[in-house]
Amino acid sequence: STMSEAASKLQRHPMLYKATGDIVISATDKSILHRFCVHTVVLAKHSPVFADMLTLPMHEVDMQKYDRIPMIYLPENAKDVASLLEVLYTPSSPLFKRSDWAFAKEVYGLMSTVTKYQFDSICTAIVHYLKSEWPTTLAEFVRFKMDIYHDHAFAGPFTSAVWRFPEPASAIRLAMDFNV
């Protein structure tokens, strides 16, 4: 492989590579190595796992660095790491869009990551959103179905509303796998 091929497989995240960051997180997505430069205080504040990990003595000799900053590699998908960091740095991020039909599928990897590293406030927000989007009684289900029909009745044929109906299999899988 040439030098340019190797360089094209390494990407700094455009928004999550902070100039004042003091830790670089490296994660892979589709054979591309993504780098995020963030603040240890932000990670430690929201995750006891990161708080413990970042207080361990990091030997200068053993510690891998990138841009002269200590670097850790996370085995999680870079897309999920980016979603996690985006939520931490931009709490108003559009992660939770109202009536997002693919929400459960889109946040499955993020939910796995926040559960593993104990980002409890993000986990709670995902669970709260999922519960708010899905009915738990027959009466709620009827009202839910009517709301969806009503919201899309003027948008064209009913088939367009079907595509906006929340996808149940992913929601059930998320709920079962994470004891929601």
Which three-class secondary structure string do you get for 4-31?
HHHHHCEEEEEEEECCCCCEEEEEEECC
What's the pTM? 0.79
Is residue 22, in this structure, part of any structural domain at all? yes
Q: Is 67 left (phi over 0), alpha (psi -120 to 50) or beta?
A: left
**Judgement on whether residues 69 and 10 belong to the same structural domain of the protein:** yes
For residue 141, the enclosing domain spans: 94-180
**Judgement on whether residues 69 and 106 belong to the same structural domain of the protein:** no
Is residue 88, in this structure, part of any structural domain at all? no
Quick one: which of 136, 45, 132 has its CA closest to 91? 45
**Judgement on whether residues 65 and 117 belong to the same structural domain of the protein:** no
Q: For residue 47, give the DSSP letter.
A: -
pLDDT digit of tens for each residue in the chain (180 aa)?
Answer: 434 444 458 899 999 999 999 999 999 998 899 999 999 999 999 999 999 988 877 655 567 899 999 999 999 999 999 999 999 998 777 666 666 677 888 889 999 999 999 999 999 989 988 888 787 788 888 887 787 777 666 555 555 544 556 678 888 899 899 988
What pLDDT, on a 0 to 100 scale, did the predictor assign at position 7?
46
Given 76, 109, 128, the domain boundary residue is 76
Quick one: which of 160, 84, 82 has its CA closest to 122? 84
Token pair recorded at residue 5: 């091929």
What pLDDT, on a 0 to 100 scale, did the predictor assign at position 89?
93
**Judgement on whether residues 117 and 70 belong to the same structural domain of the protein:** no
**Judgement on whether residues 54 and 102 belong to the same structural domain of the protein:** no
> In Å, what is the CA distance from 155 to each residue of 147, 150, 158, 165?
13, 10, 8, 14
What pLDDT, on a 0 to 100 scale, did the predictor assign at position 5?
43
**Judgement on whether residues 69 and 138 belong to the same structural domain of the protein:** no
**Judgement on whether residues 63 and 106 belong to the same structural domain of the protein:** no
What pLDDT, on a 0 to 100 scale, did the predictor assign at position 58?
65
What pLDDT, on a 0 to 100 scale, did the predictor assign at position 177?
93
Given 49, 76, 103, the domain boundary residue is 76
**Judgement on whether residues 70 and 100 belong to the same structural domain of the protein:** no
Helix, strand, or coil here: 38? strand
**Judgement on whether residues 47 and 125 belong to the same structural domain of the protein:** no
**Judgement on whether residues 41 and 112 belong to the same structural domain of the protein:** no
**Judgement on whether residues 116 and 143 belong to the same structural domain of the protein:** yes
What pLDDT, on a 0 to 100 scale, did the predictor assign at position 9?
85
CA–CA distance, 122 with 46 (Å, rounded to integer): 9
**Judgement on whether residues 20 and 58 belong to the same structural domain of the protein:** yes
Given 76, 110, 141, the domain boundary residue is 76
What pLDDT, on a 0 to 100 scale, did the predictor assign at position 104?
85
Cβ–Cβ under 8 Å, residues 26 and 66:
yes
Cβ–Cβ under 8 Å, residues 82 and 89:
no
Instruction: Work out how many domains the chain is built from and give that number.
Output: 2
Is residue 81, in this structure, part of any structural domain at all? no
Is residue 87, in this structure, part of any structural domain at all? no
Is residue 86, in this structure, part of any structural domain at all? no
What pLDDT, on a 0 to 100 scale, did the predictor assign at position 20?
96
